[in-house]
Structure 1
Amino acid sequence: MDEVTYQGLIDQVILILKGKQEDLVGILKQQMYEESRAMRYEKAAKIRDRIRAIEETVEKQRIHSMTFVDRDVFGYYMERKEVYIEVMFIRSGNMEDVASYHFSTNHNTIEEVFRSFLNQFYSQTRFIPSEVIIPVESADAKLLEEWLSERKGKKVDVIYPQRGDKVRLVEMAQKNAENAYMVSRVHEEDFARTLHSLKETLKLKQVPERIECFDISNTFGKQAVGSMVTFEQGKPNKSRYKRFKIKTVGQIDDYAMMYEVLTRRCKRAVEEGDLPNLIVVDGGKGQLGVALKVFEELAIGNVDLIALAKGRTESSVTGEKIGEQVFVPHISEPTMLSPSAPELLFLDKVRDEAHRFAIAYHRKLRDKEYYKSPLDEILGIGAARKKALMKCFGSIEGIRNATIEQLIEISKLPTKQANDIFNYF
């Protein structure tokens, strides 16, 4: 099975898990029609059988009650220290949607996990149904009922069913949670292959399970900042993101800025034994050389290093988009990866996140500077007096042109502050 077909099947499973079976059936019917037109009748027949199987499953999962009760039905699946929770949203007796959640149990029991999860789940602004059906017995069920009833404005029942249709609802949610786990495992295994392929393609010393990526952002050398983002097992870990305000470089010099940021980060990482598997810098050979200098100065030898440089948009010969250039130490020519290669798509994602984080910090500092007032430099002039002065005189220029008497009389300033403002301007 090729990668495109494989990914297509995964996408179809995800649609089912999200309760979007009708969307999937529509897609498959279109595919069946196209195969029939191309006279590939065997493939069309297989798609037809798949449609029938999905429609039968939908019919089995279609919940209809004469009471038309709104319910949230919870199920879970645990694997080692991970828990997958599935919620089926039943409205007027029909299952309208599902939602999946995944997190670590942190050594808590499933009862403790659900107690915390339900409190957070319903703390958000969301519709509260008449019934909440849970898969575990909870000592706090009555308290949860009272809280939800108060929020809804009418009685809400929290039910741990023992028999009947509601048990079958929970079993269905449990099965959906297990399916969510299976899909997650497929994605994790697929991504693990991408990381191993990245190691082989770029001839890295180790699988890049933890990556730190660095970027620089500035406007003509002003408000210069650096950013570091961390990806672990292919996922961003925002708790490990770091921002750096450039301290030692006052002019436009991206190399010197990158040197400062890498030195500050790597020096601390060496001291704390907290180095990643791979460091990525945004830039070409020049930035790679800067990073190598830092590695040499700090005697870092057990960390892989690469630099990403944007390639040309398209080839003048074929008209196709050309992949970005990946520079690795001690090899003069860059490695060119296909624009559609999973390895490059992942590296682009990491670099783009570092770029976004750097720009966001740079914009924050720039805006802070933009809104800075000369009055901030004068002792004794706080936010309230600054606001009053602007209201009285209309602008900084109006304050600048005011006499001491006007400052005292119009804005009711004490003599000392009026003199300080007059002398400042």
Structure 2
Amino acid sequence: MIWVLVVVFVVCLVLRFPIAFALGLSCLGYILVKGIPLIIVPMKMYSGIDVFVLLSVPGFIMAGNLMNHGGLTEKIITFCNHLLGHIRGGLSLVNIGASMLFAGISGTAISDTASMGSIMIPAMKKEGYDTGFSCAVTAASSTIGPIIPPSVPMIIAATLSGLSVGKLFLAGALPGLLLGVGLLITAYVISKKKNYPKHARSSFKQVAHGFVDTFWSLLMTFIILYGIIGGIFTPTEASIIAVVYALVIGKFVYKRLSFKNIQVVFLDSMKTSASLMVLVGFANLFGYILITEQIPQSISSEILGFTDNKYVVLLLINILLIVVGTFMETIAALLILFPILLKVALAVDVDPIHFAVIAVLNLIIGLTTPPVGVCLFVASSIGKISIGEVSKAGLPFLVVSFVVLTLVTLFPWFSLVLPNLFMD
């Protein structure tokens, strides 16, 4: 009967149903055909969201929205412009550098593309950068967000596996920085070749002023990480502290948050959180059906029957996740595939922390992989050009992303050195 689940799910995706509805309808179709009592639907959905650490997700979403509406994005861009604007192709470097700093606040690639792109793409076009390059840089840099902590996908991975959120946050730091540096070098080389513009060097006073303006925003990330890693508070408590902090900074320091802004932030955060929780609930029901049909065991047996070589298994998993990440949103893909593939990885002695970083990195790279990477669509809509033009301009950045993925896959040190240093 598993064919009912697969057919309905694929048909819903082809018809462009939201992924949560696609999961829900496919599960409902299976349950009705199988004759399972419908009471299983609310039971499994509730058990899926009845996880304490998931309470941190709405908090981090709200904190990110508060900081964004509070003027954080513009201040980070200004600060990065003072640091990098005098280099050839400075605005492209600012785009990537700002995403690395903003990553700790937003935590999701799509929100980074939309927030940063709405400011940077028009600015880069105005200064003479190719539209395709401007959109490609924005889409590529947004993939840093879900890796550098705090990261919503990492929280989801921790929820699904029982791993420490703090360890996963630390595990993503070096791979995220490695990806950021790789993208910076690529953008500089392309800018040098195409002779893109640069600005006059900022004075020390301007740089210092930009740092002071940005300091309070960046301090929030430090508080979150230090609190979780130091055992001062849980990830859920950290998210609430982040919300309170963002409210105070946005209202009294940056003075950009009004009562009207706060209403909009709360409403947007509620919508995003609610849709995410529905997705988690349906994904848990979907996972229950897969387990009932022994699909995880079948996939594990097939892969391990083909090879038990750790690196070949990781290569196969990488290929699968890249393809899935191209067509499916990161969190939905994690919810469905991560528990299954984690068992396969553990069977060939891959460290679970290392595998979680590999999985998240794969899926976010998929967001910028042609032909249907979501971040490509967001960037192309802002730049008002075709997805093909953005995809072509983004190929050098995609190559760098794959190089970083290969390094992180082959060398667990990048993922494990910080967790082992600070939390063992």
Length-normalised TM-score, structure 2: 0.23
Greater per-residue strand proportion = 1
Q: Which has the higher contact order (CA 8 A, sep 6+)?
A: 2
Q: Which has the larger radius of gyration?
A: 1
TM-score (norm 1): 0.23
